């Protein structure tokens, strides 16, 4: 006898999936430490992370060190430290990643700093105050929606199977009521429609914050600069728009070429890692990160492949390299912009990022920076 009890299993699956979707959606929307927008008062490196992810943070911090003569970047892409006292946690992360020799190639240094706890913490802080959506929570929400789709598919399968079996019973069994699977399908589909995931990592509050800083006039951060240091407007332009935007004001072609080249190499490595991951590589280091940060005003972007548990992956790239990252709008201008320049700009740069727990894959997703990323991901 096949009656309505035949739908107990799919009903349990649908209800459980609906509750899981609701739970993960609430986590995405939850803001642990809500604060009002600081207007133009966001610290330098926090602004860089919001606009471009982990890669943008590294670029901004390294240029800050260069302008203060705390580090020298050669045309060949070697970073040499000339100062041994860090100003903040990101400076310390750069010095630690350089190591005791006092010099290191720019590419590996960039990747290590992007996934350092100091840089990752900036993304956590922005997410806690509601300016970014946490990538882990977005990942869980998308997973919950996939499970709900499977549960809806199970309802369809059980419906077809129940009527087939009832027909084989030569009419002796009770046919299941049509309203039961209809209700289950309606519940699942309505939940799927109502729980469509937000696009991108930057929240509406984060977009408003970027628009407050990116007014078309030079932005000088109120904090995050070295004491008595110059170059605040250059660093502000770099934080919001990336190397391509700040290049003219930076007036240092060697530095710009070296950093853009490192970002380009990282983007290529990330794309290769992502292809390896999708092509059948099952190692942890090959896990691919989808990007939410990444393009600077040049339209470049990079994707990241993040190993291990990561939260914010990615890196900015002003190179013109592109990756299949989902763009997130982060500003006030176009549908994919937070800035004023191109259609994919976040303060003249678009935002892409990469997800996973407190580190970013070595080559950016995510992420601009990740960054860009992560790709820029990212990443962040």
* Pair (358, 223) in one structural domain: yes
* Pair (62, 82) in one structural domain: yes
* Pair (228, 173) in one structural domain: no
* Pair (277, 347) in one structural domain: yes
**What's the pLDDT at 135?**
83
* Pair (339, 231) in one structural domain: yes
* Pair (254, 153) in one structural domain: no
Average pLDDT taken over every residue of the chain: 72
**What's the pLDDT at 349?**
37
For residue 203, being part of any structural domain is answered with no
**What's the pLDDT at 265?**
76
How does pLDDT run across 324-362, given as a tens digit for each residue? 323 333 333 333 333 333 333 333 333 333 333 333 433
How does pLDDT run across 69-102, given as a tens digit for each residue? 899 888 888 899 998 899 999 999 999 999 999 9
pTM over 0.85: no
As given in the structure block, the two tokens for residue 131 are 């300016």
How does pLDDT run across 317-327, given as a tens digit for each residue? 333 333 332 33
* Pair (312, 299) in one structural domain: yes
How many angstroms separate the CA atoms of 60 and 62, rounded? 6
Q: Is the pLDDT of residue 161 over 50?
A: yes
Give residue 370's pLDDT band: very low, low, confident or very high (50, 70, 90): very low
* Pair (155, 290) in one structural domain: no
Q: Which of 117-121, 218-222, 298-302 has the lowest mean pLDDT?
A: 298-302
* Pair (290, 236) in one structural domain: yes
Question: Where is pLDDT greater, at 128 or 275?
Answer: 128
Structural domain including 18 reads 4-29+134-194
- The b-or-e profile of 17-55 (16+ CB within 10 A means b, else e) is bbebbeebbeebeeeeeeeebbebebbbbbbbbbbbbbb
């Amino acid at each position: 006898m096949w009656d309505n009890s035949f739908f107990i299993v799919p009903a349990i699956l649908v209800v459980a999936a609906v509750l899981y979707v609701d739970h993960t959606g609430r986590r995405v929307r939850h803001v642990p430490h809500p604060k009002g927008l600081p207007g133009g008062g966001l610290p330098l490196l926090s602004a860089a992370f919001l606009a471009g992810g982990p890669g943008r943070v590294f670029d901004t911090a390294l240029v800050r060190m260069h302008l203060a003569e705390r580090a020298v970047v050669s045309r060949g892409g070697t970073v040499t430290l000339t100062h041994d006292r860090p100003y903040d946690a990101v400076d310390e992360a750069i010095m630690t990643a350089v190591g005791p020799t006092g010099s290191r190639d720019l590419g590996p240094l960039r990747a290590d700093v992007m996934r350092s706890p100091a840089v990752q913490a900036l993304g956590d802080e922005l997410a806690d105050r509601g300016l970014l959506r946490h990538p882990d929570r977005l990942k869980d929400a998308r997973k919950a929606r996939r499970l709900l789709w499977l549960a809806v598919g199970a309802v369809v399968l059980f419906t077809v199977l129940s009527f087939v079996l009832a027909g084989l019973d030569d009419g002796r069994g009770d046919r299941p009521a049509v309203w039961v699977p209809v209700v289950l399908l309606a519940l699942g589909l309505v939940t799927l429609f109502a729980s469509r995931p937000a696009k991108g990592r930057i929240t509406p509050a984060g977009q408003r914050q970027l628009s407050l800083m990116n007014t078309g006039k030079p932005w000088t951060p109120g904090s995050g600069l070295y004491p008595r240091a110059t170059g605040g407007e250059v660093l502000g332009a770099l934080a919001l728009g990336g190397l391509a935007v700040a290049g003219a004001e930076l007036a240092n072609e060697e530095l710009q070429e070296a950093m853009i080249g490192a970002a380009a190499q990282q983007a290529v490595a990330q794309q290769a890692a992502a292809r390896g991951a999708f092509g059948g590589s099952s190692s942890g280091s090959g896990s691919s990160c989808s990007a939410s940060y990444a393009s600077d005003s040049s339209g470049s972007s990079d994707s990241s492949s993040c190993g291990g548990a990561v939260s914010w992956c990615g890196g900015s790239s002003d190179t013109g390299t592109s990756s299949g990252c989902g763009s997130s709008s982060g500003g006030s201008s176009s549908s994919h912009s937070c800035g004023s320049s191109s259609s994919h700009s976040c303060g003249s740069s678009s935002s892409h990022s990469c997800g996973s727990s407190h580190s970013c894959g070595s080559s950016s997703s995510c992420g601009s920076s990740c960054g860009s990323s992560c790709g820029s991901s990212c990443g962040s």
